[in-house]
């Protein structure tokens, strides 16, 4: 696969993950590809961070199971504000009804 790194370097992503080790490792990796990586440690912080930076965030990458506000509920609140921001879930969840929501 040939990634256009120049294209990716134009984007800022919001990465939300409650596991400290995973968040540190993946955000460090993502910084190699994207212009900027903004991190949050749970859904509530992710929503607050999105609201503060929504004009700069191009893509959201989020876990689903998180304390304070899960990823699905966080995305619902974000979609009420802006319904076309791309969102990628990185999760170990396998319940298809849950994921369809």
> CA-based angle 14:17:19, to the nearest 5?
150
Would you tell me how many other CB atoms lie within 10 Å of the CB of residue 84? 5
Q: What phi, psi does 39 have (nearest 5°)?
A: -115, 150
At residue 41's C-alpha, the angle toward residues 85 and 86, to 5°, is: 10
Q: Which H/E stretch holds residue 59?
A: strand 59-62
pLDDT in tens, 37-80: 999 999 999 999 999 999 999 999 999 888 899 999 999 999 99
The three-state secondary structure class of 71 is helix
pTM: predicted TM-score of the whole model, two decimal places: 0.86
């Amino acid at each position: 696969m040939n990634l256009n790194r120049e294209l990716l370097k134009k984007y800022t992503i919001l990465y939300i993950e409650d596991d400290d080790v995973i968040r540190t490792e993946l955000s460090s990796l993502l910084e190699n590809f994207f212009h900027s990586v903004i991190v949050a440690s749970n859904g509530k912080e992710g929503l607050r961070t999105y609201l503060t930076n929504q004009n700069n965030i191009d893509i959201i990458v989020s876990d689903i199971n998180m304390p304070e506000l899960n990823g699905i509920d966080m995305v619902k609140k974000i979609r009420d504000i802006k319904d076309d921001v791309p969102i990628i879930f990185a999760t170990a969840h396998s319940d298809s009804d849950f994921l369809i929501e």
